[in-house]
């Protein structure tokens, strides 16, 4: 294992070994703060939930903003971490402490080597990404630190298997409620069965086929799913209430209002739709000089992001953004979560070339 690989593996393992389940990120934030301050980059914002370091700004030089979340999903018996067979194994290794390690090692390289950079560099770390988007601190961070909006490209270091993934899907969650009149099941005609109403009322939802959408050459698939349904209190009682949970993963050609309107159109008057959360889709940006250089820096494949990520929050703030990270999506949130050291090294080397302007 060469020196860069060893540093990346050690950094990832150090981050994995600091528990940082959502809402409990203070310890890992303290570690990142100390290590990032030591690089010599200037800490430009720190409110305990968002942390931003940057190189000095130069006139006419684009700013590239790296972004990553500090939190993980709950522990599944996968702490402490370990290095095993070329992998760092443990909670958050792929999602996304490996990505954080690459960010921190890039900052250390800038501080130690003082390379000639083709771009200015910003590093944004934040909490509570693994929770509903309503709890995300990112909008407040941008409001408190408006210079973040000056970024010419955001790179969200979510696990992408070292591919550049453009845009992201929007994510709407809703409860659809169907009401009836309870009755004895021997005489159902004396009531109105809420389950029957739900079966008919949800038919347009479940019969809606996936909708393919192509934006700037990227193919997304919009999908609408019933994910939970609950109703009835006893086998001999006609139910008077059914609640169904619906998840709408809407394509980047819709905004949140359009997605909600589409769901209400499908349900019609059969049920009552209550939107419980909505995260906007991320706009697609692939045909720019910086994205082309990023793709070339590692010979990365360019793909659509068929899920939601904080790319949506960056594009909502007016920042062109893509997803790129060394983490393996197939291991994210799993008990045996891991990341290959070779993937860490590939991502780090490519991003060094990108920052130095040696992408070709």
Which position has the token pair 């619906």?
A: 246
| Confidence tier at 148 by pLDDT (50, 70, 90) | very high
If you average pLDDT over residues 50-58, what whole number do you get?
Answer: 98
Structural domain of 29: 3-168+282-356
d(CA 25, CA 23): 6
Co-location of 99 and 232 in the same domain: no
Co-location of 95 and 132 in the same domain: yes
* Tokens (6 digits) for 127: 């909490």
Residue 120, helix vs strand vs coil = strand
- What total of structural domains would you count in the chain? 2
Domain's final residue, options 238, 255, 279: 279
Instruction: Tell me which H or E stretch contains 190.
Output: none
Co-location of 130 and 17 in the same domain: yes
Domain's final residue, options 279, 314, 348: 279
- Counting DSSP H helices and E strands in the chain, the numbers are 10, 18
If you average pLDDT over residues 118-147, what whole number do you get?
Answer: 97
d(CA 4, CA 349): 9
Residues with a catalytic annotation lie at 71, 129
Q: What is the pLDDT of residue 358?
A: 87
Q: What is the pLDDT of residues 194-253, one digit of tens each?
A: 999 999 999 999 999 999 999 999 999 999 999 999 999 999 999 999 999 999 999 999
Q: What is the pLDDT of residue 1?
A: 76
pLDDT exceeds 90 at position 359? no
If you average pLDDT over residues 48-65, what whole number do you get?
Answer: 98
Of the candidates 332, 319, 171, 191, the one whose C-alpha atom is nearest the C-alpha of residue 255 is: 171
Q: What is the pLDDT of residue 108?
A: 98
Co-location of 268 and 317 in the same domain: no
pLDDT-above-90 percentage for the chain:
98
Co-location of 305 and 342 in the same domain: yes
Co-location of 201 and 270 in the same domain: yes
Co-location of 128 and 97 in the same domain: yes
d(CA 82, CA 10): 10
* Tokens (6 digits) for 246: 């619906």
Domain's final residue, options 279, 304, 322: 279
Please tell me the pTM assigned to this model: 0.92
Q: What is the pLDDT of residues 260-299, one digit of tens each?
A: 999 999 999 999 999 999 999 999 999 999 999 999 999 9
Co-location of 162 and 177 in the same domain: no
pLDDT exceeds 80 at position 321? yes
Do residues 341 and 5 lie in contact, with contact meaning Cβ atoms separated by under 8 Å?
yes
If you average pLDDT over residues 178-197, what whole number do you get?
Answer: 97
Co-location of 119 and 39 in the same domain: yes
Of the candidates 338, 333, 308, the one whose C-alpha atom is nearest the C-alpha of residue 323 is: 308
User: Looking at residue 163, which CATH number applies to its domain?
Assistant: 3.40.630.10
Co-location of 225 and 292 in the same domain: no
Contacts (Cβ under 8 Å, ≥6 apart) of 31: 14, 15, 18
Q: What is the pLDDT of residue 346?
A: 98
Q: What is the pLDDT of residue 360?
A: 53
**Residue 209 CB: number of other CB atoms within 10 A?**
8
User: Looking at residue 186, which CATH number applies to its domain?
Assistant: 3.30.70.360
Co-location of 163 and 305 in the same domain: yes
Of the candidates 186, 171, 106, 174, the one whose C-alpha atom is nearest the C-alpha of residue 354 is: 106
Co-location of 109 and 76 in the same domain: yes
Q: What value does the mean pLDDT of the chain take? A: 97
């Amino acid at each position: 294992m060469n020196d860069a690989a060893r540093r990346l593996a050690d950094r990832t393992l150090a981050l994995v070994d600091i528990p940082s389940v959502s809402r409990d990120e203070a310890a890992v934030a303290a570690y990142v703060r100390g290590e990032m301050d030591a690089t010599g980059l200037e800490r430009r914002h720190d409110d305990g939930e968002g942390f931003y370091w940057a190189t000095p700004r130069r006139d006419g030089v684009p700013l590239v903003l790296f972004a990553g979340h500090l939190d993980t999903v709950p522990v599944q018996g996968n702490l402490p971490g370990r290095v095993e067979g070329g992998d760092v194994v443990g909670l958050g290794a792929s999602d996304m402490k490996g990505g954080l390690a690459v960010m921190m090692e890039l900052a250390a390289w800038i501080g130690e080597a003082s390379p000639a950079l083709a771009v200015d560099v910003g590093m944004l770390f934040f909490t509570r990404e693994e929770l509903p988007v309503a709890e995300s601190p990112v909008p407040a961070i941008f409001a408190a630190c408006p210079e973040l909006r000056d970024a010419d490209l955001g790179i969200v270091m979510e696990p992408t298997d070292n591919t550049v993934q453009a845009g992201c899907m929007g994510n709407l969650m809703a409860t659809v409620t169907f009401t009836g009149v309870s009755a004895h099941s021997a005489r159902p005609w004396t009531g109105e069965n809420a389950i029957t109403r739900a079966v008919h009322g949800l038919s347009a939802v479940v019969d809606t086929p996936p909708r393919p959408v192509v934006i700037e050459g990227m193919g997304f698939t919009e999908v609408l799913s019933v994910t939970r349904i609950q109703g009835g209190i006893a086998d001999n009682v006609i139910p008077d209430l059914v609640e169904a949970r619906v998840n709408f993963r809407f394509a980047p050609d819709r905004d949140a209002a359009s997605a909600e309107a589409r769901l209400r159109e499908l349900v019609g008057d059969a049920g009552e739709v209550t939107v419980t959360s909505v995260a906007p889709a991320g706009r697609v940006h692939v045909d720019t000089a910086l994205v082309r250089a990023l793709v070339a820096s590692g010979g990365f494949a360019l793909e659509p992001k068929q899920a939601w990520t904080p790319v949506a929050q960056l594009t909502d703030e007016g920042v062109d953004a893509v997803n790129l990270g060394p983490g393996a999506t197939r291991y994210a949130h799993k008990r045996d979560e891991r990341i290959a050291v070779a993937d860490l090294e590939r991502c780090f080397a490519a991003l060094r070339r990108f920052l130095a302007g040696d992408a070709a």
